[in-house]
Chains A and B, each alone.
Chain A
Amino acid sequence: MKPVSLTGRAAVVSLALLFSFLVAWHLATRGSGATQHMDPEYAKLMGATATQGKSAMPGPLDVGAKLWEHLRQPFYDNGPNDKGVGIQLAFSIARVAIGYLLAVAVPLSFRSRRSISLMIRPAHYHARNVERH
């Protein structure tokens, strides 16, 4: 039988680590059942943390569900305070793109052969201009 390659074994170990991390996370954040005796009318007004000891930090299933919800509808727009992740990313990338274009466009506008040459191939510039003394 051919021995399993190193990369194969590494992949298995990685997956096992991921899996045990998710299990630990889930066990740490799930509810512990009823925490204290509560009048049912009162319990209806209280949240899951108080009634079932569920951690305030969401577990992997909650995070997964929310992530899926966001990915399913990336461009939803409910108003100025609640827009989909696609719209927000688009704005962010646009800002970066504008900054990048400004950084490139401004020096290009100087139109000097030397400066462009320096930007493109510093070694070239040096080779052509510095060695001559």
Chain B
Amino acid sequence: MSTFDNPFNPSRSLNSSGCSCGRHTSQAEHERDGAQLRCLPVESDEKRYENVIASAVMRALFPQDLGRRAFLQSLGASTALAALSQFFPLKTATEVFASGGAIEKKDLKVGFIPITCGTPIIMAQPMGFYAKHGLNVEVIKTAGWAVIRDKTLNKEYDAAHMLSPMPLAITLGAGSQPIPYTAPAIENINGQAITLAIKHKDKRDPKSWKGFKFAVPFDYSMHNYLLRYYLAEHGLDPDQDVQIRAVPPPEMVANLRAENLDGYLGPDPMNQRAVYDGVGFIHVLSKDIWEGHPCCAFSASKEFVTGLPNTYAALLKAIIDATAFATRPENRKQIAEAIAPPNYLNQPVTVIEQVLTGTFADGLGTVQRVPNRVDFDPFPWQSFAIWIMTQMKRWGQIKGDVDYAKVAQDVYLATDTAKLMKEVGLTPPAATSKTFVVMGKTFDPGKPEDYIRSFKIKKAA
């Protein structure tokens, strides 16, 4: 890879197709060296960036490689570097390339709810991803979604872990003042489940759930929309036939035990904890309702994104980096150990391990193995935003005409994330919208109003 060649080496051609590490004249030589364990990796990211910049400058100065080599042979590498630095600020150029600008505000506060959906945001603290990108972030445990929304709105938190519909709701003014918010990255996909109290273990058919009391974490949550969708598909009207209450996730298991609830569609580890404590069983995983549904998002106000752009870029990059680390199944055990202590999730390690590795007890006596029970994919598909808005309209949370495409574009920043995904080694999708299937019914993001009209059960207009 000639970008990483040493531009001050007169005996190497910058343009030759050398070996894969960039220090040998041919692949055969590289392999020979490798066999003798002498092929060393580049010392650090900084050195690599320095070489990249210097290489570009030298190539620009000496379009004919022979000229560059003659220049270096007459002067020597260090003199050449000194001569070059006089006319071109190599150090500054390297810094700009590496960091994309100075970070405006190093000490940040990010709020989180102690659930596995926020794993990338939470694990980035103990595992050093924030520090790696030059930030000093305090992740602050919050009591519930309404509190996290209010604290982010009044700027006690610089950014927060939110449910994916929340930035849309805040931007549209549903449940709060309309303030432009953004969701540059989705934290997790899948990772929820419908858990019922153990006394209902013979009532697996949703049609027998009339009169049940369900809980969801928040009114503007994927859990609410998924639960309502699931009930409606089985013929129950979520507003007439059952009760749906908003209960903060940390209180869900206790309420189930105290028989205030018959079940909930909640985030993990609340489902697994209910099983672990013997009070509930997992009825259906959310990935069996909609495979690949978004759940939680990392969210910041538009003011933060435009006012502190370098800080925002570093923060987002750290989180995407953490997300990339979390997607790999071999890292999940390590992550479970890092986020289990009282300062983060405060759960027994085995509960979190069961959630992250997908080998879990289901509450009915079987050990199930579902490896992608929860998965992490940061790309904020704009079609997710449009689906969420159709469901908000379906259940009467927003009224009137909505410009679906424009709001989706303003809030779900797909282009920013695609750029940073590439930088940490993930491949972002080429499009920002896609069709998907929810419980056997296809959703086409180009026709949101038709989708809403196609449902039999919805809030009476």
> A interface vs B, CB < 8 Å?
35, 38-39, 41-42, 44-47, 49-50, 56, 78-82
The answer to whether A42 touches B367, judged by C-beta atoms less than 8 angstroms apart, is: yes
A–B Cβ pairs within 8 angstroms, 26 of them = A39-B367, A42-B361, A42-B365, A44-B350, A45-B350, A45-B359, A45-B360, A46-B275, A46-B276, A46-B361, A47-B276, A47-B277, A47-B348, A47-B351, A49-B277, A49-B278, A50-B275, A50-B277, A50-B278, A78-B342, A78-B343, A79-B138, A80-B139, A81-B140, A81-B343, A82-B342
Contacts of B366 in A (CB 8 A): 42
Q: Residues of B with Cβ closer than 8 Å to A?
A: 125, 138-141, 257, 275-278, 341-344, 348, 350-351, 354, 359-361, 365-367
CA distance A49 to B344 in the complex (A): 23
The docked-state distance in angstroms from the alpha carbon of A44 to that of B360 is 10
Known contacts being A45-B354, A45-B360, A47-B277, is A79 close to B343, with CB within 8 Å? yes
User: What's the Cα separation between A18 and B378 when bound, in Å?
Assistant: 57
Shortest C-beta distance, B337 to chain A (Å), equals 15
Query: Which of A35, A41, A50 has most B Cβ within 10 Å?
Result: A50
- How far does the alpha carbon of A79 sit from the alpha carbon of B351 in the complex, in Å? 22
Give the Cβ gap from B161 to chain A, nearest Cβ, in Å: 14
Pairwise interchain contact A45-B367, C-beta atoms closer than 8 A: yes
Check B365 against A39 for contact (C-beta < 8 Å): yes
CA distance A45 to B354 in the complex (A): 8
Least CB distance, B118 to chain A, in whole angstroms: 13
Closest to A79 in B: B343
Q: Are A80 and B257 in contact (CB under 8 A)?
A: no
B-chain residues with CB within 8 Å of residue A49 when the two chains form the complex: 277-278
Which residue on chain A has the smallest CB distance to residue B277?
A49
Distance between Cα atoms of A41 and B351 in the complex (Å): 14
Cβ B276 vs Cβ A50 within 8 A: yes
Q: How many A-B residue pairs have CB under 8 A?
A: 54
Partner of A47, one of B257, B278, B342: B278
Q: Which of A35, A38, A46 has the most CB of B within 10 A?
A: A46
Q: Smallest distance from the beta carbon of A80 to chain B beta carbons, Å? A: 5
CA distance A35 to B351 in the complex (A): 20
What chain B residues lie within 8 Å of A45 (beta carbons)?
A: 276, 350, 354, 359-361, 367
Residues of A within 8 A of B275 (CB): 46, 50
Task: Identify whether the interface residues of B are mostly helix, strand, loop, or mixed.
Answer: mixed
Q: Which chain B positions have C-beta within 8 A of A38? A: 365
- Min Cβ gap A83→B in Å is 9
| Complex Cα gap A49–B348 (Å) | 13
Determine the residue in chain A with the shortest Cβ distance to B126: A79
- List B contacts of A44 (CB < 8 A): 350
Would you list the 4 A-B pairs with minimal beta carbon distance, nearest first? Answer: A50-B278, A82-B343, A79-B343, A45-B361
Residue ID in chain B nearest A53 by CB atoms? B278
Closest to B344 in A: A81
- In the complex, what residues of B have CB within 8 A of residue A80's CB? 138-141, 343
- A39 CA to B368 CA, complexed, in Å: 13
B141 to chain A, nearest CB (A): 4
Nearest A residue (CB) for B361: A45
Tell me if A56 and B277 are in contact (CB < 8 A): yes
Bound CA span A35–B354, Å: 22
Inter-chain contacts of B344 with A (CB < 8 A): 81
Chain B residues whose CB sits within 8 angstroms of the CB of A41 once the complex forms: 367
Chain B residue numbers with a CB within 8 Å of A39 are 365, 367
Q: Across the interface, name the chain A residue whose C-beta is closest to B125.
A: A79
Report the bound CA distance from A82 to B354 in whole Å: 24
Distance in angstroms from B200 CB to nearest chain A CB is 17
Complex CA–CA separation, A81 to B143 (angstroms)? 11
Q: Which residues of B contact A46 (CB under 8 A)?
A: 275-276, 278, 361
Known: A80-B138, A82-B341, A82-B343. 20 other contacts (CB 8 A): A35-B278, A38-B365, A39-B365, A39-B367, A41-B367, A42-B366, A42-B367, A45-B354, A45-B360, A47-B276, A47-B277, A47-B278, A50-B275, A50-B276, A80-B141, A81-B140, A81-B141, A81-B342, A81-B343, A81-B344
A44 to B348 alpha-carbon distance, docked (Å): 13
Closest chain-A Cβ to B135's Cβ sits at a distance in Å of 15
Most buried by A among B140, B278, B348: B278
Tell me which of B341, B348, B367 contacts A78 (CB under 8 A): B341
| Chain A, Cβ-Cβ closest to B350 | A45
A72, chain B: closest CB distance, angstroms:
16
* CA gap between A47 and B275 in the complex, in Å: 9
Q: In the assembled complex, how far is the CB of residue A126 from the closest CB belonging to chain B, in whole angstroms?
A: 49
Quote the shortest CB–CB distance from B362 to chain A (angstroms). 9
Q: What's the Cα separation between A50 and B361 when bound, in Å?
A: 12
CA distance A35 to B198 in the complex (A): 15
* CA of A44 to CA of B278, assembled, Å: 13
Contacting residues, chain A, for B361 (C-beta < 8 A): 42, 45-46
Residues of A within 8 A of B139 (CB): 79-80
> Residue on A with the closest CB to B272?
A45
Shortest CB–CB separation between residue A55 and chain B, in angstroms?
11
Which of A56, A78, A79, A81 lies in contact with B257, CB distance below 8 A?
A56
Closest to B254 in A: A56
- Please, which residues of chain A bring their CB within 8 A of the CB of B257? 56
- Tell me, in angstroms, the Cα distance from A41 to B368 when the chains sit together: 11
| A72 CA / B251 CA spacing, docked (Å) | 30
What residues of chain A lie closer than 8 Å to B367, measured between beta carbons?
Answer: 39, 41-42, 45
Most central of B343, B350, B354 by chain A CB within 10 Å: B343
Tell me the minimal C-beta distance from B351 to chain A in angstroms: 8
